[in-house]
Structure 1
Amino acid sequence: MKLLRLLFIFLSVPLFAQQGGMWIPSLLDGMNETEMKNLGMKMSAQDIYDVNNSSLKDAIVHFNGGCTSEMISNQGLLLTNHHCGYSQIQKHSSLESDYLEHGFWAKSLKEELPNPGVTATFIIKIEDVTEKILEGTTATMSEADKQGIIEANIAKVVQNSPKEKYQENRVRTFYEGNQYMLFVVETFKDIRLVGAPPSSIGKFGSDTDNWVWPRHTGDFALFRIYADKNNNPAEYSEDNVPYTPKHFLPISLDGVAENDFTMVFGFPGSTDEYLPSVALEQIVETINPARIAIRDAALAIVDEYMRADPQIKIQYASKFARIANYWKKWRGETLGLTKSNAVGIKKDQERDLTAQMKKKGKQAEYGNLLPQFETYYTQIEPYSLAREYFLETALRNVELLTTAFQVYQLKQAYENRGEQSFNDRRDNLIASMNVKYKDYSSKVDKDVFEVLIALYAEKVDERFLPDSFKNMDVERLTEDVYSNSAFTNFESFKALLEGDAETVMAKLEKDPGYQVARDMADAYFTKIAPDYEALRLNISGLERDYMKALLELSPKDARIFPNANSTMRVTYGQVKGYSPADAVYYEPVTHLDGVMEKYIPGDYEFDVPQKLIDLYNSKDYGPYAENGKIPVNFIGTNHTTGGNSGSPAIDAHGNLIGLNFDRVWEGTMSDYYYDPSLSRNIMVDIRYVLFIVDKYAGATNLIDEMKLVHPKKGKSKRKK
């Protein structure tokens, strides 16, 4: 609930609205516990988070720093999304053993595959250290001086707080710098691939269905955590053994129904729930339209080439999906913010907050916050817009410029750190580019370059443009770059970087592709970034004070949760359908029938394995069906974002019922404004996971590890 629907200060909030928020699990006592029980939860807050005893938090794992996962057996079996483990599945794949195409299933521990560099992190303890971190700071200090003291205090707390040798202390900020929490964490480094369905199940629907409901995707993968003989973290070793977790999640076979309680436990990445209306208006009217326009242009070109050339279709499939992912999100986000009148609601909330300031005599302390926001966001808008054009053009959508910018950074490394740093980075860059160029087409990139450079020259404020961009002939520049630059293929790129640093620098300055990237980067770092960063620092200070005002002027039971920052959070709600438009209503559960309805033989997005078709035709569903149908996905009102991928969906009793993997298109604005009528997270039904593991893969060895329960009947069992 954004700005946390400051309706909370002045209006009664209906129970249904009390489902947004990403809450710190160690602070659920009181209001949150009451709300959760009102929604149907049968557990206590202590069942969810307990330092001294086993609790749900001991089964929740930060997977490789970007996704969430959960323990589902007492032998270290870990469940996450297929897309979270995709790169590991890909690395183990070959023409002879294509696990992306056919899936992978280890039928014994010896068959499980190691993944160097992959990590699994548990939260051992969460502690409030705000007083220690803010010690020595004053309200009259500059933001830069204040941050210097805070960073020094964080270093002291991290260094001096107790932990085991194999653990780590981390301090994270909450409420825009009004609260600091210490996390004691334990990270395991021997993580092995156990099972993954073929992409035709794990990525069913692919780009077309991304951010969309109804959904029919079996987005899951299985790994196992290994530990040393003392059950502690260790580097990979054949002597390591499966980890014994403090807690693992029993799995419910009872399924879900509309209005059932659901809780999603995980590590959401980033949200901005408390932006003032002027900032949100800028996103809706200026920033997102620019982002969308740039990617519209790039996607149209790439799509045309992919449709005409099968080889380019293969080369660009992953890149197209990456570009389209946030393009689609930004469109849905803008639609949702507009449809829910988020800007107007925030303006109403700000008027109410101003009245509350006057009522409590806080004008001197907080009265200038909103006018200052107006001033700073007006000042930063052209810088923010220019920054987005630079990021989208030079770093994300024109591959030649992205590569040239990496070489530009190589030059900075040489100038700042010397020849050895240059040599090390140069060697790493060449090694990484060997793979990148295999999926590169200069003719595709050339057309993208020409269109986006023209957009850049037209849309970016003239004062921020490189001098070389003024009165530029885009067509002639494009022809020169893609005819004469060494960045158009790997062999010439590698030759460009051969020699000592001075030799390479001299060659670079003559390369037309490098010249464009250099001019754009120089202009960005001299004309845009300094003022943008200075204004952002001032805005950050305002956000901290604004957050303080919200916390201070709101009633004790106000539902103010901290923005997501990749730390452990709990969000709760209910299984619930929704109505995205007039005369349209979406049911909350999809089934295998829908997979078959979407089935297109040979299509990379909607093909279906023959064995799955056979199981469907024979209705060989085992104990995983309900009313003769296999459930696949379901939606709920849980407030999620990136980083919640792989998070467990947990029922009222603490059992696993699903696996979070996406949000609906109309509700993607929940990073800024949570609307309970539109915001829905999408989850894989755990019974579909079990059905695929058991009936499709025949990996009954994995089913046997799990604890399968019927909470509504009070029974538990293991697979026979």
Structure 2
Amino acid sequence: MKIRLAASALALGWALAGASAAPAAAEEGMWTFDNFPLARVNQTYGTSLDQAWLDRVREASVRLQGCSASFVSPDGLILTNHHCVVSCVQELSTADRDYVANGFIVATREEERTCPGQTAEVLTDITDVTDRVLQAGAGLEGGAFAEARAAEIARIQDEACGGDRRLNCQVISFYRGGRYALYKFRRYGDVRLAFAPEFQAAFFGGDPDNFNFPRYALDAAFLRAYEDGRPVATPNHLVWNARAPREGEPTFVSGNPGSTSRLLTIAQLENLRDVQIPVAQLQRSELRGRLLQYSQSSEEAARISVDPIFGLENSFKAFYGQQQALTDTAFMAEKRRQEAELRAAVAADPALVQRIGDPWTTLEEVQGRIENLYLPYRQLEANAGGGSTLYAYARSIVRVAKERAKPADQRRAGYSDADVERLSRQLGTERPIDADIEEIYLAFWLSKTREYLTVDHPQVKALLGDESPEALAERLVEGTRLADPAFRRQALTMAPDALAEADPLLAFVLANDEAAQAVRNDWQAQVSAPTAQAAEKIAQARFAVYGENQYPDATFSLRLSYGSVRGWTYRGVEVEPFTYMGGLFDRATGSPPFNAAEDFLAARAEIDPDIVYNFTTTNDIIGGNSGSPVIDAEGQVIGAAFDGNIHSLGGAYGYDGAVNRTVVVSTAAITEALRDVYDQPRLLEELGVD
């Protein structure tokens, strides 16, 4: 979901029925497929969903890198959002052929082009592994606890996948550590771009329209999964239905919501509000300014900076919306009430108190440690490199070299031979790297590290030496060979000493990695481990008090939400749930960002103005759900979720069914665009559209 916020201020009115501890209210929740409330949904909507329906939807649902999608044909065709593939579109573009501006529109499958690094994953199996994971850390504290847990999780994953490149096995924590499940995915590593409209068609209205409604955006694109050079056979796909949605009809969103924090304690929420979000937002804001300034330096700079700016603004607006919720008095009062209710229920049960102790006080103490550790941890480890792809390559290579020098049984989790083989494949992927953008990221990170940790900090001195952030960044980017995938693969086989001589960026990372890992170890021992242990106990308390009919926080794992097509009323203003294609031309002014795409203007006479373009539903979603299929009760796809309304910004912490809405691009509009705007008969035939 594109996380955006309009410039206007917002007073949040939070109902938060069941947003933290209590069982979920109607239409709230991102449910796992093995705990979906079928009976409740069927009773509420008069539907007849069953396990077979759930299985069909699961088998057609696709997880992309950071987004969601679905198979919509028997030949591996994948529906997702344009903003989920814009980085691929930009990587395939050149100064002479700008697919972002003009769209990626081809006539045959043979012209479909590989998206570098993109994968498509389908969930095939779910296995509970809670006992194994919990027992692994029993009796341990701090770093030892964290390492034991990580090692056991790695063993479970390796056992399940057995080195099969076609599989991805992931142990996922649910309920903040109350449950652990092994998710096994069928993985496709050759994903190609099949169709993408112009950026302006997908993003009409720009930032002013984001997180608002009405919307007039064709935020849709098609990929295709390949294997052994041929399109993947996908008999378990969603049927394309190009009909208009009906107000009030039930809708289901199957996707991979990225992260919510609805189960955090008050102490944790206050720390996010007061410490972590403000620092990150200040840096995002300044980095955005640097990128915007660079984008104005030339036409080529403007072209290559589209996606970096796009992604940065997404993040900024997401966290701005989250902080709005955390500073809302009514919201925080309700969260305090819910926490007090749970704690009182625990206190009234001596046996439960004996079993879990007082994890809330533990987490309060942890937040005090975070205030001291957060800046060094963020600058030297968690956000090291500032988003530089080259730096990320270098750090991965350096850490593999250092771990591989150890006996196999002493390596940290994540550095097994199978892990290194996967990394080698990733590093060997050819993808364009823009040196100017890399220098901006590195210079900004170095300058902010110096500013936040101070000039006299020993690690700042070690990082910079006698150089300025800008000069050091320029030297490292100009000198490194890590843009070459062949060199990256070669470097992955080198010993640490050889790395230092082979490349200046590798030498830079190697010289500073010991200090960075020391900060990571401190964070793991003083923050991550005690947080995990306390959160598990709170999860046990929730299960004991409220039962297990609850949905967990989002973890970028496959979920299913239910709702209906519906508008909303706010401060006496009624917002209808539909926009229509003709409304695009009424809203277009000719000036950015309200300039209609050229292909739409050229086809205006052919477009049916009464076709539903975008619509809203009550489904509970969050970032990561971008591209999720919106499915009707028959299991047919009628749209792709691409955004939320302004009231959904605090969805990371709670759901208000009165005003929170999902924004969807309809299959009716996509079909019309493929037929009358972009002349794509091959895709229409594949989708089964006459």
Same fold flag (TM > 0.5): yes
- Shift in CA distance, 253/163, structure 1 to aligned 2, threshold 3 Å: farther
Give yes or no for the alignment of 1:360 onto 2:337: no
Q: For the residues of structure 2 that align with 1:98 and 1:255, how far apart are their CA atoms? A: 34
Amino acid at match of 2:29: G
2:368 to 371, 378, 382: 378
Return closer, same or farther for 1:587/1:390 CA change in 2, 3 Å cut-off.
farther
Match of 1:25 in 2: 33
Alignment of 1:341-490 (within 5 A): 341-361=330-350, 362-390=352-380, 394-396=384-386, 435-440=432-437, 448=444, 452=448, 455-457=451-453, 465-466=457-458, 480-482=468-470, 485=472, 487-488=474-475, 490=477
* Pair 1:550 & 2:542 matched: yes
Alpha-carbon separation, structure 2, partners of 1:311 and 1:92: 14
Counterpart amino acid of 2:539? M
**Alpha-carbon offset, residue 290 of structure 1:** 1.4
Offset at residue 33 of structure 1 (A): 2.0
C-alpha spacing 1:492/1:23, structure 2 compared with 1 (3 Å): closer
Q: Which amino acid aligns with 1:27?
A: N
- The separation in 2 between residues aligned to 1:505 and 1:165, in whole angstroms, is 31
Cα distance, 1:661–1:307 mapped onto 2, change above 3 Å:
same
* Structure 2 counterpart of 1:18, one-letter code: A
Displacement of 1:650 in angstroms is 1.1
* RMSD between aligned residues: 4.5
Are 2:673 and 1:692 equivalent residues in the alignment?
A: yes
Q: Within the alignment, does 1:679 sit opposite 2:660 as a pair? A: yes
Q: Which amino acid is 1:487 matched to?
A: E
Q: Which residue of 2 aligns with 1:243?
A: 233
Q: Which residue of 2 aligns with 1:59?
A: 60
Deviations 1:662-697 (A, max 9, x none): 233442322232233443322212111111111111
- The alignment partner of 2:670 has SS state of helix
Alignment of 1:247-286 (within 5 A): 247-257=237-247, 259-286=248-275
Contact 2:642 / 2:665 at 8 angstroms: preserved in 1? yes
2:306 is equivalent to residue 317 of structure 1: yes
How far apart, in 2, do the equivalents of 1:416 and 1:153 lie? Answer: 18
The one-letter amino acid paired with 1:188 is Y
Q: Is the 8 A contact 1:81 1:221 kept in 2?
A: yes
In structure 2, the residue matched to 1:635 is 616
Aligned equivalents of 2:652, 2:665: Cα separation in 1: 21
**How far off is 1:370 after superposition?**
1.4
* Higher relative contact order (CA closer than 8 Å, sequence separation 6+): 2
Report SS of the residue matched to 1:436: coil
Paired letter, 1:439: D
Task: State the structure with more CA Rg.
Answer: 1
Kindly tell me: are residues 658 and 320 of structure 1, through their superposed partners in 2, closer, same or farther at Cα, counting changes over 3 Å?
Answer: same
Q: How far has the Cα of 1:4 moved from its partner?
A: 4.6
Partner of 2:637: 656
Structure 2 Cα separation of the partners of residues 336 and 520 of structure 1: 38
Under a length normalisation based on structure 2, what TM-score does the superposition of the two structures give? Answer: 0.80
Equivalent position SS for 2:385: helix
Code of the residue aligned with 2:655 in structure 1: it is: Y
Q: 1:686 to 1:137 in 2, by over 3 A?
A: same
1:77 maps to amino acid: L
Asked whether the equivalents of residues 335 and 666 of structure 1 are also in contact (C-alpha less than 8 Å), the reply is no
Aligned equivalent of 1:587 = 576
User: Which residue type is aligned with residue 377 of structure 1?
Assistant: Q
* Range 319-328 or range 491-500, more displaced: 491-500
Partner of 1:611: 599
Tell me which amino acid in the other structure corresponds to 2:49. S
Identity value in percent:
22
Cα distance, 1:583 vs. partner? 5.7
Deviation for aligned residue 1:57: 2.0
Q: Whole-Å Cα distance in 1 between the matches of residues 163 and 480 of structure 2?
A: 48
Matching of residue 201 in structure 1 with residue 194 in structure 2: no
Counterpart CA distance in 2 for 1:447 and 1:295 is 14
Deviations 1:386-411 (A, max 9, x none): 433556874327x6xx8668657766
Kept in 2: contact 1:123–1:185 (CA 8 A): yes
For 1:165 and 1:125, how far apart are their aligned partners in 2?
Answer: 16
Distance 1:315 1:189, change over 3 A: closer
The Cα shift of 1:211 comes to 4.1
Aligned-pair distance for 1:542? 0.7
1:333–1:665 contact (8 Å) kept in structure 2 = no
Q: Which residue of 2 aligns with 1:336?
A: 325
Q: Does 1:69 align with 2:62?
A: no
Residue aligning to 1:230: none
Query: Partner residue of 1:102?
Result: 102
**Corresponding residue pairs, total:** 652
Given that 1:393 and 1:456 are in contact with CA atoms closer than 8 Å, whether structure 2 keeps it comes out as no
The answer to whether the aligner puts 1:562 opposite 2:563 as a matched pair is no
CA contact (8 A) 1:70 1:79 kept: yes
Distance 1:481 1:430, change over 3 A: farther
| Structure 1: gaps of 5 or more residues | 227-233, 622-627, 708-717
Q: What is the identity, as a one-letter code, of the residue corresponding to 2:314?
A: N
C-alpha displacement of 1:635: 2.4
1:251: how far off? 1.0
Unaligned stretches of 5+ in structure 2?
1-14, 406-416
Query: 1: distance between equivalents of 2:683 and 2:212?
Result: 31
Deviations 1:289-338 (A, max 9, x none): 11112222232344345456655434433322232221111111111333
Amino acid corresponding to residue 313 of structure 1 in structure 2: A
Q: How far is 1:543 from its partner?
A: 0.5
Shift of 1:706: 2.8
CA distance 1:665–1:432, shift in 2 (3 Å): farther
2:39 counterpart of 1:34: yes
Cα distance in 2 between the residues matched to 1:44 and 1:217: 31
Deviation at 1:372, TM superposition (A): 1.4
CA distance, structure 1, for counterparts of residue 477 and residue 135 of structure 2: 54
Aligned to 1:541: 533
Report the CA distance shift for 1:595/1:620 in structure 2 as closer, same or farther (over 3 A).
closer
Deviation at residue 100 of structure 1 after TM alignment: 2.8
User: Counterpart amino acid of 2:193?
Assistant: L
Cα distance in 2 between the residues matched to 1:380 and 1:456? 15
Shift in alpha-carbon separation, 1:664–1:429, aligned structure 2, 3 A? same
Residue 625 of structure 1 is matched in structure 2 by none
Match of 2:566 in 1: 576
Deviations 1:49-99 (A, max 9, x none): 24xxxx222221223x43222122334332111222334434444566543
In 1, Cα distance between the equivalents of 2:129 and 2:382?
A: 38
The 1:165–1:41 alpha-carbon spacing in structure 2 relative to 1, beyond 3 Å, is farther
Contact 1:39/1:261 (8 A) holds in 2: no
The residue number in structure 2 matching 1:620 is: 607
Question: 1: CA distance between counterparts of 2:501 and 2:110?
Answer: 53
Deviation at 1:158, TM superposition (A): 6.1
Distance 1:72 1:543, change over 3 A: same
- TM-score between the two structures when normalised by the length of structure 1: 0.77
Q: CA deviation at 1:263?
A: 0.9
One-letter code aligned to 2:537: D
Q: How far is the alpha carbon of 1:25 from its aligned partner? A: 1.4
Q: Distance in 1 between matches of 2:163 and 2:199?
A: 41
Q: Conserved in 2, the CA contact under 8 Å of 1:39 and 1:574? A: no
SS of the residue aligned with 1:48? helix
Residues 457 and 614 of structure 1, relative CA distance in 2, 3 Å threshold: same
3-state SS in 2 of match to 1:395: coil
